[in-house]
């Protein structure tokens, strides 16, 4: 009986020790969640401003439509930028992204640029994917404007050379604190179609330099702004998933502790009762 008590006691101690870790991780995730929520909120206006500006430039491009507004028909490969996490313990966050990629990407022809250590490891060990690009300037670790801009310049150059047909960003869209869905956004070609204002019929805006030249100048910064915003949104989803996973782990630990405590108390009471019976029986036999 004592062996059973000791085993249950060790299990209780082990669960309490694990629960301390999950509670600490949940607190860290909550702090990061608030930080990334503020980052996404502040970056939304900037990203929307970039889209509106680029849309105005495309609308007033006096020459024939720039190649940034159409796919490279001669190319056969699509570049997919896939955002995943660097760490685990975030429930089904990464698996949902991997399932989405599996359903939409042609592994034989398309190119995958994974952002995040989990994505790099997953695609590197999956023999179905033939074209993996891991040279992403560590943008998975730092939301740094210079790194993002350098990466986007390389992507723009590849698109200009007609090496890739289009550029698609796969990320996790934040719906609310318990709901996140994989989504995609086409970065190139740019598919923004703003409506012209009524007063532009008799007083069109003047661009200096031309709208075409500004499109080419601003394109890396437009791509970097869009990528930065989606990276921040994905990290917001990651921290929310991790916090929910840690909360569920804590709830399961509490439930298991209650069951083990009841089991331990019952076994202890049984042991005490048995000892009393043995003492009473021994005393009766002695008489």
More confident position, 194 or 110: 110
Give the strand pairing for 179-188 and 166-176. antiparallel
The verdict on residue 140 lying in a domain is: yes
pLDDT of residue 215: 86
- Rounded to the nearest integer, the mean pLDDT of the chain is 85
pLDDT of residue 194: 66
The verdict on residue 197 lying in a domain is: yes
Tokens 């740019």 locate to 190
CATH number for 190: 3.40.1380.10
User: Dmax over Cα atoms in the chain, in whole Å?
Assistant: 120
The verdict on residue 32 lying in a domain is: yes
> Which of the four pLDDT bands, split at 50, 70 and 90, describes residue 65?
low
> Which of the four pLDDT bands, split at 50, 70 and 90, describes residue 3?
low
pLDDT in tens, 164-185: 999 999 999 998 888 889 999 9
Handedness of CA 75, 77, 78, 81 (dihedral sign): negative
The verdict on residue 3 lying in a domain is: no
Average pLDDT of the segment spanning 204-216: 82
Total structural domains in the chain?
A: 1
Average pLDDT of the segment spanning 143-157: 84
pLDDT in tens, 227-275: 999 999 999 999 999 999 999 999 999 999 999 988 888 888 887 888 7
> Which of the four pLDDT bands, split at 50, 70 and 90, describes residue 200?
low
Instruction: Give me 107's structure tokens.
Output: 């592994």
The verdict on residue 58 lying in a domain is: yes
pLDDT of residue 75: 87
pLDDT of residue 216: 86
pLDDT in tens, 90-104: 888 999 999 999 999
pLDDT of residue 204: 72
More confident position, 276 or 259: 259
More confident position, 14 or 62: 14
162: left (phi over 0), alpha (psi -120 to 50) or beta: left
pLDDT of residue 72: 87
Minimal CA–CA distance to 185: which of 230, 123, 233, 234? 230
The verdict on residue 7 lying in a domain is: no
pLDDT of residue 239: 92
The verdict on residue 251 lying in a domain is: no
The verdict on residue 265 lying in a domain is: no
Domain that holds residue 89: 20-246
More confident position, 49 or 79: 79
pLDDT in tens, 72-88: 888 889 999 999 998 88
Q: Distance between CA atoms of 152 and 139, rounded to whole angstroms?
A: 11
User: What share of the chain has pLDDT > 70, as a percent?
Assistant: 90
pLDDT of residue 164: 92
Handedness of CA 232, 234, 239, 243 (dihedral sign): positive
> Which of the four pLDDT bands, split at 50, 70 and 90, describes residue 43?
confident
């Amino acid at each position: 009986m004592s062996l059973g008590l000791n085993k249950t006691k060790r299990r209780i101690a082990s669960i309490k020790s694990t629960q301390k870790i999950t509670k600490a991780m949940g607190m860290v995730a909550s702090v990061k969640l608030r930080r990334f929520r503020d980052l996404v909120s502040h970056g939304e206006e900037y990203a929307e401003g970039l889209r509106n500006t680029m849309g105005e430039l495309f609308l007033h491009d006096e020459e024939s439509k720039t190649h940034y507004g159409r796919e490279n028909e001669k190319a056969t490969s699509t570049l997919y930028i896939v955002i995943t996490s660097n760490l685990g313990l975030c429930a089904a966050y990464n698996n949902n992204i991997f399932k989405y990629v599996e359903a939409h990407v042609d592994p034989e022809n398309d190119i995958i640029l994974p952002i995040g250590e989990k994505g790099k490891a997953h695609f590197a060990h999956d023999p179905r994917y033939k074209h993996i690009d891991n040279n992403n300037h560590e943008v998975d670790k730092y939301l740094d404007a210079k790194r993002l801009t350098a990466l986007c310049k390389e992507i723009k150059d590849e698109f200009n050379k007609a090496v890739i047909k289009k550029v698609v960003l796969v990320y996790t869209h934040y719906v609310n604190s318990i709901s996140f869905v994989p989504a995609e956004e086409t970065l190139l070609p740019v598919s923004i179609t703003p409506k012209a204002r009524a007063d532009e019929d008799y007083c069109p805006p003047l661009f200096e330099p031309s709208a075409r030249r500004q499109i080419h100048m601003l394109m890396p910064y437009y791509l970097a702004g869009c990528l930065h915003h989606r990276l921040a949104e994905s990290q917001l989803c990651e921290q929310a998933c991790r916090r929910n996973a840690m909360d569920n782990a804590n709830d399961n630990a509490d439930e298991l502790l209650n069951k083990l405590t009841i089991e331990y108390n019952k076994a202890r009471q049984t042991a005490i009762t048995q000892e009393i019976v043995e003492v009473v029986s021994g005393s009766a036999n002695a008489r």
